[in-house]
Chain A
């Protein structure tokens, strides 16, 4: 379980996270949605110990993320960030293999090699495995980073806007992949998303952020409604049920 206890984060005068408390038990797919600047990425960044909080604490299965050893945490929690600037000139194979680092400390076993191959095939980059990252398109590079996170095989996988740069085909196959991950026993996927329809279609639980606070939390059917559109996203629109799934249609 990821436990977030009254965390706050300020940059100068601006409060980006304001006393957020949240518990994410094991299993399933959790979507985090909210308008730009709501604090979604910062929340993810704090959960993955890349940003320090001003107050409150985060623990993963009881381990305080600021105190537990990095290696211990890396086997429980993986994160894929939005910006992935890599100075090292690496092949897809190299990059994904480094996802196994928490398990093998840089000395791959045969099992590691198999996991890496599986991760690469899950994102459909088998043909590109020997290409350097700088020879790939933005979407392919994005998928390579997803594969690296898959190879890390952590109990909790966090993704910040993983669908950026992806066309609709790859976006859908990526979300199906996350769904499959979240359905495995003991695995939890937490994804920051900006498309409400995608969140409604694939997440078990949706957390809504606005101005650094949590303003909604629950299954898609309870969270996604006209009030969410007007009050949080400031658009007028309808929420339609298609085959029991919530679909947002924004007024022109």
Chain B
């Protein structure tokens, strides 16, 4: 297999995304697609207030989570790491709870900032643990992350239980895009800026994946770059978790599949990783709207199923060059 860009595959991904965008705009409970298309009755309103925002939210979240995954994998130099296997998502959840607890009336932007800061601290703690622990196998790395996440989760649940906030934290447990409406998703546009920033520094993040020695050897400021990467990952995670809830495994599956086909020169692969993430989350959501229509299955649940299966495939299939 060589690394020349696969034009056919790239085209297929973009076409599939375009088709799903169209599907997402016309799929959903209550309104027939013909009404929406004809913009008759409430069709125009549904489109503008719900379907378009929801579709944009899905695209932005998917792209952001997939890019976060590949950045974490370069930083931790491990193929099995992404925000939900590194304690990032769970620490963001803890941050949200702390805001609810200490500043119940705080605006969404404050909640996001605090969630992002706690997520940053949680992910940094994860990296510190990795550098201190003797890790026999590449599989130990996500296990450490999942355990750390479990601890954050336990603290969050305990606090929520003690202060009668269990219902409020239930909302960010599982990503659900049915709540997305115009005026309630716009913070997700931050992700577009962060993905652009990651793309602008793609060469540096690729070098990060070659290790600290190589990075320093070619003149990079290793610590500053790791911090920059973690900030991107933490803010993306916090914005997604606060707006729609956790969507696990996107950052695991998409970067691994893209890496197998295109390799990991992020200058080349990052746009495909971002598009692939958008495609996966969008597809899961459209599927979730159809399976038990007119009811919905949340994306978080669908990704949990697809993701854990994908995780197993990766563990068995990619162990060879994951170490």
Contact = CB atoms under 8 A, between A and B. Distances in A.
Interface string B46-58: 0000000000000
B207 interface: yes
A89 B213 contact: no
Contacts of B73: 87
A89 B263 contact: yes
A152 B221 CA distance: 17
B218 A90 contact: no
B203 A101 contact: yes
A98 B218 contact: yes
Nearest to B219: A74
B243 interface: no
B264 A90 contact: yes
A79 interface: yes
A48 B211 contact: no
Contacts of A135: 1
Given A50-B216, A81-B213, A130-B4, A89 B264 contact: yes
B45 interface: no
B34 to A, nearest CB: 47
Contact of A132 (B1, B4, B74, B219): B1
Contacts of B209: 86-88
A108 to B, nearest CB: 10
B3 interface: yes
A89 B321 contact: yes
A93 interface: yes
B219 A73 contact: yes
B183 interface: no
A190 B79 CA distance: 34
B265 A87 contact: no
Contact of A90 (B202, B212, B265): B265
A81 B214 CA distance: 9
Interface in B146-171: none
Contacts of B259: 89
A78 to B, nearest CB: 6
Nearest to A81: B213
B320 interface: yes
A84 to B, nearest CB: 7
Nearest to A160: B213
A245 interface: no
Contacts of B210: 84, 86-88, 90, 95, 98
A72 B218 CA distance: 10
Contact of B219 (A71, A84, A87): A71
A105 B210 CA distance: 16
A85 B210 CA distance: 7
B27 interface: no
Contact of A98 (B2, B4, B207): B207
A48 B320 contact: no
Contacts of B216: 48-50, 70
Interface of B: 1-4, 73-74, 76-79, 202-204, 206-207, 209-214, 216-221, 259-260, 263-265, 267, 320-321
Given A94-B3, A98-B203, A135-B1, 16 more contacts: A50-B213, A50-B217, A70-B216, A70-B221, A73-B219, A79-B217, A85-B211, A86-B214, A87-B74, A90-B206, A90-B263, A98-B207, A98-B210, A101-B207, A106-B203, A132-B3
27 contacts: A70-B219, A71-B219, A84-B214, A86-B211, A87-B74, A87-B209, A88-B206, A88-B210, A88-B264, A88-B265, A89-B259, A89-B263, A89-B321, A90-B263, A90-B265, A91-B3, A94-B265, A98-B207, A98-B210, A101-B203, A101-B218, A106-B267, A130-B2, A130-B3, A130-B4, A132-B1, A134-B320
